Amino acid sequence: MKGTVKNLVAARNFGFIRGSNNGEYFFHRDDFNGHWDDLVEDLAHQMHPEVSFDVVESPKGLRAANVRRNDWPNES
Q: Could you state, in order of their start, the residue ranges of all structural domains in the chain?
A: 2-69
Q: Which CATH superfamily is 2-69 part of?
A: Nucleic acid-binding proteins (2.40.50.140)
Give 14-47 pLDDT, tens digit per residue: 999 999 999 999 999 999 998 999 999 999 999 9
- Residue 72, pLDDT above cutoff 80: no
- The pLDDT of residue 71 is 85
Q: How far is CA 21 from CA 38, 42, 74, in A?
A: 26, 23, 23
Give the pLDDT confidence score for residue 75 in this predicted structure: 53
Backbone torsion region of residue 61, taken as left when φ is above 0, otherwise alpha when ψ lies between -120 and 50, otherwise beta: left
